[in-house]
Structure 1
Amino acid sequence: MTITTPKGFRAAGVAAGIKKSGGRDVVVVVNDGPSAAAAAVFTSNRCEAHPVTWSRRILEDGVASAVVLNSGGANCFTGAFGAETTELTANRAAELLQLQPSDVIVCSTGLIGSGDEKFRQGVLTGVKLAVAELADDETAAQHAADGILTTDSVAKTALREGTGYSIGAIAKGAGMLAPGLATMLVVITTDADLESAQLDTALREATRLSFDRVDSDGAMSTNDTVALLASGASGTAADEGEFTSLLVDLCQDLARQLQADAEGASHDITITTTGAATEDEAVAVSRAVSRSNLFKTAIFGNDPNWGRVLAAIGTTDAQFVPQQIDVSMNGVMVCRAGTPDAPVDTVDLTPRKTAVLIDLHAGDATASILTNDLTHDYVHENSAYSS
């Protein structure tokens, strides 16, 4: 199990007719306590969806007892109707669960600009159906993981066991994977007894080292939400260091699952920059390469064109001397000190997992970015997304 493994949590995922493709599309996750501590990290896209605006506001007090999620519609740029739909969703869940609306996080994912009366009624009906099916077993957890998927091909789940407590999670995301946050929704539950401020600190560190470093296609979503709820039902006041370490590991696991399910991808690429003056500069260099369409198409064609790597590095403000940069691809150093090294025909780029290692020789900092190649399938899928 995942989100229902920690004590004090129930979940459900139901089909309410929102998604054109059918299947489960409304999910409810409930924290039965005794604690209702919560934290969340949201997209940094200034054009944020109505559920993000709602959830950001209601979490200012660090308290939440439920999360309602829908797939099949982003409820973004849907005007006053969309804002009202979000509030009605929270009200419906609160009424059925005997909570306050201000204790209900709302999340949506799907096509931006879609949201009509049929969508609203689907969400509200789905909430009622889901509340009626809430359970703490494995089936309920799986239904919840399935209910948040859109273009995903598989559900993403993770579980970690701490000293006297556990952390479980479900996630969705296959496109628009770029920070802030990698469209991506994540619900994390734990029965550790921690205050909301502790959860917030741990979650921000975890997202910094995981979801913020998935940059599959350079497109930032309007709806990204990572919510962390703590029930305290284990009675264990978790060590903050251990909890943060486990949370980082869990989120990195989910980030790799997001990368592996990226729309149309044929390569999962890890770009690691070492020898940087600072961690931020290592991130900037790896990200610049990850966003180079020339580099991404070369990898799709199994072409170790390392010149495109150096060209992308040169667009950053990182400290380096171009004539000192080394580049390796899948373990073969193709560029040493800014000049050709091993023959490019010795590099095998046919495996799906691809590793690019950059050494700037400018310091001791290291950071990696997870990305994917740019394929015909990606272009086709996203050219027909709203049709």
Structure 2
Amino acid sequence: MSVTAAQGFEAAGVAVGLKSTGAKDVAVVVNRGPRKVGAAVFTSNRAKANPIIWSEQAIADGVVEAVVLNSGGANCFTGSFGFQTTHQTAEKAAGLLGVSAGDVIVCSTGLIGSGDEVFRGKVLDGVEQGVAALSAAGGEDASLAIMTTDSRPKLAVVSRDGWTVGGMAKGAGMLAPGLATMLVVVTTDAEIEPAEADAALRRATRLTFDRLDSDGCMSTNDQVTLLASGASGLRPGLDDFALALTEVCQDLAQQLQADAEGASHDIVIQVVGAASEDDAVTVGRSVARNNLFKAAIFGNDPNWGRVLAAIGTTRAAFDPYDVDVSFNGVRVCTAGGPDRPREEVDLTPRRTEILIDLRVGAATATILTNDLTHDYVHENSAYSS
């Protein structure tokens, strides 16, 4: 049930014609309380969609009553009309739910530059239909309604002793870090304060969504929202809550990686022996964003030279002539030179593990990415057609 697995939440997903396929395209998630705690992180892209501009203001007081999400149109670079559309979306939901518009988060996803009177009318109609269809069993419909190029919905639930964290996500392209990537709604019935929710969410996204770097492209509409109802009546330890939240976010991040547009390999880049966590992240990301490396993986070629060339562009502390590199458990490079024969490496499985040992410290980090395929290029060359 994803976002309705925790007590105190209702959701719905409806179809109003934003998608040409007739599939569900507007979702509503409502926190029935008793607590109405909210926290969110947003894309760091300076080009922000109207829902991001609105939601950054709405989240400031740490109170969120509802989230309205639409697919089939990003409502980005649509001028004052677009911001008015977002405002009217929040007002419509607020009026139907009997809450303040300032406590309604709005999310949109789809083609940048799309948004007109027809779009606005369909979104507002979707809000009305969505609120009318709200139920504790509506989590799956909501997850279907936020899909764009996704091939399947992304759902995750973790339950502890009497309290639960559940979430849904969408995203298959434009997956690169910026505090958060894609659209995600996570709910919990644990009792937590707004500042605690914010800290736990930032901790979780830093270790999960922020380390998913599928194609190096950062969207204008990305946000991750956490809602807490307190309906369980239980207050877990903050570390326990943060761990459960991180587990849900990691599960969703891995599902997003597995559904990346056109990908044939899910690549896990683990960097060990780094002088600092920041260095480990920087090195891992340099490989994840290297098109030559990604193309080699698509061709099942364990080209460790491309790994060393990629990490050599960073300012991380290491000696490039004292680095070990392994592909799927086979160390093909040691101390900056050849080790085991490439023929021993099997890159035909979809999951591909790269281990980079910098041999200068004890810090580690893991970055998730995908290979670069013909299908990825084809899908994105025809995205707006």
TM-score of the superposed pair, with normalisation by structure 1: 0.99
Write out the 4+ residue segments of structure 1 that deviate beyond 4 Å after TM superposition.
none
Identify the match of residue 196 of structure 2 among 195, 198, 215: 198
Are 1:85 and 2:77 matched, yes or no? no
2:259 matched residue in structure 1: 261
CA distance in 2, matches of 1:13, 1:255: 22
SS in 1 for 2:383: coil
1:122 matched residue in structure 2: 122
SS in 2 for 1:3: helix
Q: Where does 1:318-357 land on structure 2 (aligned, <5 Å)? A: 318-357=316-355
SS in 2 for 1:367: strand
Deviation at 1:19, TM superposition (A): 1.1
Are 1:215 and 2:213 matched, yes or no? yes
CA distance in 1, matches of 2:22, 2:276: 47
1:286 matched residue in structure 2: 284
- What do residues 68-97 of structure 1 show as CA deviations (whole Å, max 9, x unaligned)? 000000000000010000000000000000
Aligned residue identity for 1:331:
G
SS in 1 for 2:41: strand
CA distance in 2, matches of 1:3, 1:184: 16
1:184 matched residue in structure 2: 182
Query: Contact conserved, 1:42 with 1:180, CA < 8 A, in 2?
Result: yes
- What do residues 219-273 of structure 1 show as CA deviations (whole Å, max 9, x unaligned)? 0011111000011111111211100001111101100000000000000000111
Any gaps of 5 or more consecutive residues in structure 2? Answer: none
Are 1:162 and 2:160 matched, yes or no? yes
Deviation at 1:345, TM superposition (A): 1.1
Aligned residue identity for 1:113:
G
Deviation at 1:163, TM superposition (A): 2.4
SS in 1 for 2:270: strand
| Higher alpha-carbon deviation: 211-220 or 164-173 | 164-173
1:95 matched residue in structure 2: 95
Deviation at 1:63, TM superposition (A): 0.4
Go from structure 1 to structure 2 and tell me whether the alpha carbon gap of 1:228 and 1:182 turns closer, same or farther (over 3 Å shift).
closer
1:133 matched residue in structure 2: 133
Query: Contact conserved, 2:181 with 2:223, CA < 8 A, in 1?
Result: no
Aligned residue identity for 2:18:
I
Query: Contact conserved, 1:182 with 1:215, CA < 8 A, in 2?
Result: no
Query: Contact conserved, 1:43 with 1:180, CA < 8 A, in 2?
Result: yes
Deviation at 1:182, TM superposition (A): 5.2
Deviation at 1:22, TM superposition (A): 2.2
Deviation at 1:312, TM superposition (A): 0.2
CA distance in 2, matches of 1:169, 1:35: 18
Task: Indicate the percent of aligned positions where both proteins have the same amino acid.
Answer: 65
2:146 matched residue in structure 1: 148
Identify the match of residue 306 of structure 2 among 301, 305, 308: 308
- What do residues 335-356 of structure 1 show as CA deviations (whole Å, max 9, x unaligned)? 0100001111111100000000
CA distance in 2, matches of 1:161, 1:183: 24
Root-mean-square deviation (Å): 0.7
- What do residues 318-338 of structure 1 show as CA deviations (whole Å, max 9, x unaligned)? 001111100000000000100
Deviation at 1:164, TM superposition (A): 2.0
Query: Contact conserved, 1:183 with 1:222, CA < 8 A, in 2?
Result: no
Query: Contact conserved, 1:162 with 1:243, CA < 8 A, in 2?
Result: no
Aligned residue identity for 2:296:
A
SS in 1 for 2:173: coil
CA distance in 2, matches of 1:373, 1:20: 30
1:56 matched residue in structure 2: 56
Go from structure 1 to structure 2 and tell me whether the alpha carbon gap of 1:121 and 1:183 turns closer, same or farther (over 3 Å shift).
farther
Query: Contact conserved, 2:325 with 2:357, CA < 8 A, in 1?
Result: yes
